[in-house]
Amino acid sequence: MLPDADAAITRDGKALILAYDHGIEHGPVDFEPNPETADPERVFDLATHDAVTALAVGKGVAEAYYPSYDDDVSLLAKLNGTSNLWMGEPDSAVNWSVEYAAELGADAIGFTLYGGSNNEVEMAEEFRDAQEAARANDMGVVMWSYPRGQGLKNDTSPDTIAYAARLGLELGADIAKVKYPGSPEAMGEAARMAGPTKVVMSGGSKTDDRAFLETVAGAIDGGAKGLAVGRNVFQRENPEEILGALEAVIFEEASVDEALELTSASAVADD
């Protein structure tokens, strides 16, 4: 972890990363709730929203779309990813190099590490190479720190998430993306274990506006420095509304009720 290495993908020390690596990780099923978001251009447009500090995509999407948005979007190159068709022990193929990501204009790299997988050693060594290459290219480093594997019984327990956050620090990530461990207190412990590495919460599967914002607010209250989110934004009928609400909670320290006033859910509740 290097001070200010993540400056290009943060704002006031916080991050709202719009993740759009779902086409490889989950497949077309993730676009069914809002079919227009199967078109990457729609999500690149979303990434120009003031709330978004970076957009995380894979190589092919970056090649095809980022050149048209390089003045308006901070690119986080998601280096590894494996399809949901893979049924083996958790692993993630490295699909592009740091050098090529830098050539495309990426501001930072993202890399998944499955701590606890039988493939952890190989993945950690791949992360080492990517992290050091990112430093050579003045790029920030974000770890998707997801403990997973046949020997792991609970991948969201407070102890497991604290360990995941610590792995981010120990291996040199500037930001560690972890799952929500269930309470602000548990998130606080994860943040404490990460030291100067910023901890951001994974957005997870789509929930209703209030439940989602309450979880985000709890994570921020506990010490998280933001959010890396995909489905809980782009699967909504009006993704811009929830981005405005997230901006209020993460960057403006608004309450959940204040943030909900920015969404149509509030208008329905008032009728």
Residues forming the active site: 177
What is the distance between the terminal CA atoms of the chain, rounded to a whole angstrom? 49
Which of 66, 72, 171 is closest to 113 using CA atoms? 171
Question: Which residue type, as a one-letter code, is found at position 131?
Answer: Q
Q: How far is Cα 79 from Cα 59, in angstroms, rounded to an integer?
A: 7
Report the interhelical angle of 209-222 vs 239-251 (nearest 10°): 20
Rounded (10°) CA dihedral 64, 202, 221, 217: 80
- Residue 63, classed as helix, strand or coil, is helix
Q: How far is Cα 201 from Cα 83, in angstroms, rounded to an integer?
A: 22
| Residue burial 208-219, b: 16+ Cβ < 10 Å; e: rest | ebbebbbbbbbb
